[in-house]
Amino acid sequence: MFICIPKVGGETTSPPKLFDKGGNMANVIDFDDLKQDAGDLKNLQDNDLTALSKLIQKQISLDSEIENMEDTLKELKRERDILSSDTIPVKMQELGINETTMADGSKVTVKDGFHCRIPKAREDEALDYLRNNDLGDIIKNQVSTSFGTGEDNMAGDLAGYIEQNFGITPDVKKSVHPSTLKATLKKRHEEGLTDPDDLFGIFIRPETKITKGKK
């Protein structure tokens, strides 16, 4: 369908100069072609939006599935922990044994597991205790400070030298790696030495270790 440009206010308006499909100058607008182009664009947009919606729904579904699996894993770990530290050790104690071998060759052993950690609120007190008991060498010191633009060379200086010569007070963080603390206090426990349970969160509980047999 072709529509000519009408008169406006009694005068003939100059029609827009458009090119027809053959590349020739035309004074008419083919609204059928415009409608077709608009329809194609709408279909393209609708298809893209549908595809995007499906992708979003897939992520929502996966997020939900992951959350459910994490909850399931958490529950499985809890059940496993009860078996390892309570149910199996109690049963083996009733039988008067602390190790056994399964039919498939797997070896099962129950031993006391040593656990400890430094409570955040008592960190300074715990570090002082370690120093006073000749255990200060397991304390890790991290000295850091902030430097402005063009002060790269200062970064390599020692913390004390920086403070003395540049008036910059570094941040000093002291800590003990959990594995180092556990190994140290466990050794002292095995040697018959005692350390404050509340200061280091020390507790001992049975743990079941299963070494699978060779197939």
- Picking from 114, 96, 97, 112, the residue whose alpha carbon sits closest to that of residue 207 is 112
Does the predicted TM-score (pTM) go above 0.75? no
Note whether 204 and 85 are within 8 A (CB). Answer: no
pLDDT at 47: 77
**Res 28 pLDDT > 90:** no
Q: 170: Cβ–Cβ under 8 A, 6 or more apart, which residues?
A: 143, 144, 145, 159, 162, 163
Reported as a pLDDT band with limits 50, 70 and 90, residue 64 is very high
Quote the pLDDT of residue 161: 79
Q: What is the mean pLDDT of the chain?
A: 81
How would residue 173 be classed by pLDDT, with cut points 50, 70 and 90?
confident
Count of CB atoms situated within 10 Å of the CB of 147: 13
Does position 113 have pLDDT exceeding 80, yes or no? Answer: yes
- With 50 as the cut, is the pLDDT of residue 3 above it? no
Query: Can you tell me the mean pLDDT for 100-128?
Result: 93
The whole-number average pLDDT for the span 61-74 is 96
Distances (CA, A) of 41 to 47, 64, 158: 10, 35, 67
Question: Domain limits of the chain?
Answer: 2-61, 98-147+155-211
Token digits of residue 164: 């003395």
Residue 1: the pLDDT is: 44
Asked whether residue 2 carries a pLDDT value surpassing 60, the answer given is: no
Name the token pair of 142. 């991290």
pLDDT above 90 as % of the chain? 53
Cα distances (Å, whole numbers) of residue 165 to 91, 101, 154: 67, 67, 10
Question: Given CA atoms 24, 28, 29, 32 in this order, what sign does their dihedral have?
Answer: negative
| Residue 41 confidence (pLDDT) | 64
